[in-house]
Amino acid sequence: MENRYYRTFDNEQDLQNEMDRLRAEGYTDEDMYVMSKREDRMSIYRGHNDHEGHEKEGLWEKFKEFVTGDDESNEHFNRMSFEESERKQYYDDVNNGKHLLYADREYGRRPL
């Protein structure tokens, strides 16, 4: 199984469906990060297990804001090990309303 996965989505339903598929493949919520621009600010959300037993909760209840603001989001975005051209494209996609799903078992272990 790959350690890293990333893809952009136009809407939350497609994003949620893909997250469910990744969970079925063995990724945990803690392995998943969602970068999104909500309420005119860039944020990165990380999955958490505080929602155990609440299967009906939506995406934003299962994910806590991890980083907020353009500068901090950009710093963490750089840790995601994208090539420069990919990083720019994904960052632009998120700025234009898409959601980036990034799943990585090693992300939290990388230095800033």
Residue 56 CB burial class (10 angstroms; 0-12, 13-18, ≥19)? exposed
Residues 9-23: pLDDT tens digits? 999 899 999 999 998
User: Residue 74 sits in which domain range?
Assistant: 4-107
Query: Is residue 31's pLDDT more than 80?
Result: yes
pLDDT tens-digit map of 53-93: 445 455 555 555 555 556 666 677 777 778 888 888 988 89
Assigned domain for 112 exists? no
Q: DSSP readout, 42-86?
A: EEEEEE-STTTT-TT--HHHHEEEEEESHHHHHHHHHTT---HHH
Our count of domains for the chain comes to 1
pTM: 0.75
Q: Within a domain: residue 29?
A: yes
**Of 111, 102, 33, 43, nearest in space to 79 by CA:** 111
